[in-house]
Amino acid sequence: MTTPSEPTESSPRRVLVVDDDHHAVRIVGDFLDAKGFAATSALDGHEALARFHDDGPFDVIVLDVMMPGIDGLEVCRRLKASPQGQLTPILLLSARSDTRSRIAGLYGGADDYMTKPVDLFELEARIGALIRVRDRYLELATHKREGVEAAISDGLSGVANNEYFVRRLGQEIARCDRYSLSLTVLVVDLDGLPEPSGGDDDDFGAADEVQFGGPADRLMAVVGETLRSNVRQIDLVARIRRARFAVMLPHTSRRSVEPLVERLRTRIADLPADPDRAGSPAAGLGLRVGLAELGPRMDAVTLLARAEPG
């Protein structure tokens, strides 16, 4: 799901004000501008949708219900059907104060409902409340995303960790077996890295515990990014121990992998010893690559063992 970008402390909160009454739009817009918001106006439903998609993101939408053409309820439904609109609060304004109209607006996806004539100071308070709720949701969503990424990522190289790789590989094997698809795995050993300051090279799951120290830590992160940036989005790169990486290549046969292997060798060989120092000489890293294609009755452990570099 796409989430709206969080505003910086110095940027004014953006409000899209939609009403077919020019006078009402001007009054609400001028008031919000005076209160430190950045108001953008739209005079009908079509313009509101265009503004939202072309000039967004917005922090809040103040939307009149009764408009010619596309009314506010339909605009609300269309906005909430989009990924960006799902997380954008919508405050409906309507001359109808009956319970049925309020319920229809809220069921249509609105986050709040006010009746006209509008008290501008109450409008300001309600906009502020909607923004606070939205900001809290984005904060929690960010923390959750960071927690998930930390759980599945290798802290040193930035690629996936061994546990997540083996789990994903098992899932991909099941999918490929079901639909008779090809799958190839690379196991890549880096040659030329300094000895680690901790960890056991014989421990297959100890990648996160190994620290190389100094510029080599940064170099390991650059190695991870180099591997990841030279494969497809559907591929998965992981560090599975010390200086060993694995690459899962769905929909790929063993015969078609050689160009990728050569590209990775070239990119890794060009990496500087100190990525943060201009003019640093090459680190002199090399690759030993093993590969295996999925065969009958293979599981993740077997496939990785078959791909062991010779």
Please check whether residue 8 lies inside any domain of the structure: no
Beta-bridge partner residues of 93: 64, 114
Please check whether residue 3 lies inside any domain of the structure: no
Peptide linkage before 194 cis (omega within 30 of 0): no
Please check whether residue 177 lies inside any domain of the structure: yes
What is the pLDDT at residue 45? Answer: 94
| β pairing state of 244-250 and 183-191 | antiparallel
Torsion of CA 122, 128, 133, 136, to 10 degrees: -160
Q: Which long-range contacts (CB under 8 A, 24 or more apart) does 194-202 make?
A: 196/242, 199/242, 201/241, 201/242
| Of the candidates 303, 300, 292, 309, the residue with the CA atom closest to the CA atom of residue 255 | 292
pLDDT digits (tens, 9 = 90+) for 15-41: 999 999 999 999 999 999 999 999 999
**CATH number for the domain that contains residue 277:** 3.30.70.270
**CATH number for the domain that contains residue 35:** 3.40.50.2300
What is the pLDDT at residue 195? Answer: 57
Please check whether residue 1 lies inside any domain of the structure: no
Half-sphere exposure of 235 (CA within 13 A, CB side): 18
Residues 54 and 77 reside in one and the same domain? yes
In the chain, the number of structural domains is 2
Residues 135 and 172 reside in one and the same domain? no
Residues 142 and 240 reside in one and the same domain? no
The C-alpha atoms of residue 229 and residue 242 are separated, in whole angstroms, by 20
What is the pLDDT at residue 168? Answer: 94
Please check whether residue 7 lies inside any domain of the structure: no
Please check whether residue 34 lies inside any domain of the structure: yes
What is the pLDDT at residue 164? Answer: 93
Please check whether residue 2 lies inside any domain of the structure: no
Residues 106 and 170 reside in one and the same domain? no
User: Does the predicted TM-score (pTM) go above 0.75?
Assistant: no
What is the pLDDT at residue 205? Answer: 39
The C-alpha atoms of residue 99 and residue 177 are separated, in whole angstroms, by 56
What is the pLDDT at residue 209? Answer: 45
Per-residue pLDDT, averaged over 43-47, amounts to 95
Residues 146 and 191 reside in one and the same domain? no
Residues 205 and 275 reside in one and the same domain? yes
Mean pLDDT lowest among 42-46, 90-94, 147-151: 147-151
Residues 245 and 177 reside in one and the same domain? yes
The C-alpha atoms of residue 53 and residue 33 are separated, in whole angstroms, by 22
As given in the structure block, the two tokens for residue 11 are 């940027």
Among 115, 150, 185, the domain boundary falls at 150
Containing structural domain, residue 84:
14-150
Backbone angles phi, psi at 72, to 5 degrees: -65, -35
The C-alpha atoms of residue 259 and residue 171 are separated, in whole angstroms, by 26
The C-alpha atoms of residue 293 and residue 253 are separated, in whole angstroms, by 6
pLDDT digits (tens, 9 = 90+) for 213-245: 556 678 888 999 999 999 999 999 999 988 899
